[in-house]
Chains A and B, each alone.
Chain A
């Protein structure tokens, strides 16, 4: 199949960027979207032009590296990561807009690559349980009800890709932060730092400059890891309870 791409090209963080029309020719339907870009890049390179820079790594939907807003949807039309999007989802001759994830907190590095280190900084603020290597008790000393373990796993499945921020009309990171806070708050191991974790992670999220949640639920709809929006409700609850505890104690 042949496709008309409109791809965001930007030399570096400081230069202005623009959408550039690029033709993708002879693309097999069984190719993934990123393999389509590989083919386009091969063509560009042979022509002596610089290939399109885009983030990707595992190409099996788990590392969270690939991004891209495809026709206005983060990760495109299939409810997975971009690397798991296959060209059979598109029609021959279609025009496809490929843009980077957009948010003040995700500045463009080059072309379609953005800097998502704000997510790391939020995690560093409190997205952990303090457990020094060597200090742990036997793993079965702390039974965790299956329901809680399953709910924690559901939240922990977040791959940190940032699609939630990219899809949110407000560029809010509530789904990401909610997932981490929920995962750890649901487990008995996470109780000791529960209050400080919620306070620190939300504070860092705000300082980074993410927008505020308006409950549009676009985040949930594009999340390739199926993180439910109930983690946002939990975060709202956790943070408020934590603030009350902090005010009183």
Chain B
């Protein structure tokens, strides 16, 4: 027990938690994207998928709570690490110059916080239906919750779509550094693997951005419509 708690209070242990929860959340982001992209297949597959998720019942709540726990742990441990990082250099430089740190890497906290804000809005928008309460009552011909309709209507608002695109852009930026970084933190890196994680991470983050952004763009351009 002692060694576990000392591991979790160590810099590397806490970084591992952040990396592992990051990996889990990244898994969710990928899964969610694949689910969402069914919108291009039409209302039937998407609404069926939504019903499937709903039918999971308690299991869905287990998944939701799991995700929530990961988000909380990801944030709490990051805050702790950040506070220590600040304390580690009480007197800063008058001039700083960077050679390696990428823009996404330096923006991790900011992009993370903004993604958090977005997630809250996103949940209120499409899950809790607090932004437009009518979303809650949309049903399709088979009496299922009409997620397809909700999506199209939701994204026909230019403001909502723009906000969504910016947000997934920030998410992708977070992943741009995050994916490669998590393999480094988990110790699954070496001179040979490094280009794979670094380039692969950047490529994946772009794919995620394009995937997510394609939906509002398709709606706005009329490719997807009711």
Q: B155 interface residue, CB < 8 Å from A?
A: no
Q: Which chain B residue lies CB-closest to A19? A: B94
The reply to whether the CB of A247 lies closer than 8 angstroms to some CB of chain B is yes
For residue A97, which residues in chain B have a CB less than 8 angstroms away from its CB? 94-95
**Is A171 a contact of B85 with CB atoms below 8 Å?**
yes
Knowing A203-B10, A236-B186, the reply to whether A216 touches B100 (Cβ < 8 A) is yes
Q: Is B106 an interface residue (CB 8 A)?
A: yes
Most chain-A CB neighbours within 10 Å: which of B11, B13, B16, B180?
B11
Residues of B within 8 A of A6 (CB): 94
B189 in complex: contacting residue of A103, A211, A230, A246, CB < 8 Å: A230
Min CB–CB distance A248 → chain B (angstroms): 9
Q: Answer yes or no: A41 CB below 8 A from chain B CBs.
A: no
CA distance A234 to B188 in the complex (A): 8
Given A211-B85, A211-B89, A213-B15: A229 and B184 interface contact (C-beta under 8 Å):
yes
**Is B12 interfacial (CB-CB < 8 Å)?**
yes
Instruction: Say yes or no for A42: interface residue by CB 8 A criterion.
Output: no
B143 at the interface (CB under 8 A from A): no
Asked if residues A213 and B100 are in contact (CB atoms below 8 Å), the reply is: no
Q: Does B38 contact A (CB under 8 A)?
A: no
Is the C-beta of A123 less than 8 angstroms from some C-beta in chain B?
A: no
State how many angstroms separate the Cβ of B83 from the closest Cβ of chain A. Answer: 10
Please report the C-alpha to C-alpha distance between residue A11 and residue B13 in the assembled complex, in whole angstroms. 39
User: A206-B11, A233-B184 are contacts. A72–B100 as well, Cβ < 8 Å?
Assistant: no
Q: List residues of B (69-124) whose CB comes within 8 Å of A's CBs.
A: 81, 84-85, 87-101, 105-106, 108
State A218–B89 Cα separation when bound (angstroms). Answer: 15
Q: A72-B93, A229-B184, A247-B7 are in contact. Are A214 and B108 (CB under 8 A)?
A: yes
Q: What residues on B are CB-neighbors of A214 within 8 Å?
A: 81, 85, 105, 108, 181
Proximity bits, B115-152, A CB within 8 Å = 1, else 0: 00000000000000000000000000000000000000
Contact B84 A216 (CB under 8 A): no
A-B contacts besides A102-B92, A239-B13, 20 pairs, CB < 8 Å = A72-B93, A103-B88, A169-B85, A170-B85, A174-B11, A203-B6, A209-B87, A211-B84, A214-B85, A214-B108, A215-B177, A215-B181, A216-B101, A228-B191, A229-B194, A237-B187, A239-B10, A240-B12, A240-B13, A240-B187
**Interface positions of B (Cβ within 8 A of A):** 3-4, 6-7, 10-16, 81, 84-85, 87-101, 105-106, 108, 177, 180-181, 183-191, 194
Residue pairs across A and B with Cβ atoms less than 8 A apart, 11 shown, are A69-B95, A71-B97, A72-B97, A170-B88, A206-B10, A215-B180, A233-B188, A233-B189, A235-B187, A236-B184, A236-B185
Residues on A facing B (Cβ under 8 Å): 6, 19, 69, 71-73, 97, 99, 102-105, 167, 169-172, 174, 202-203, 205-206, 209-218, 220-222, 228-230, 232-240, 243, 246-247
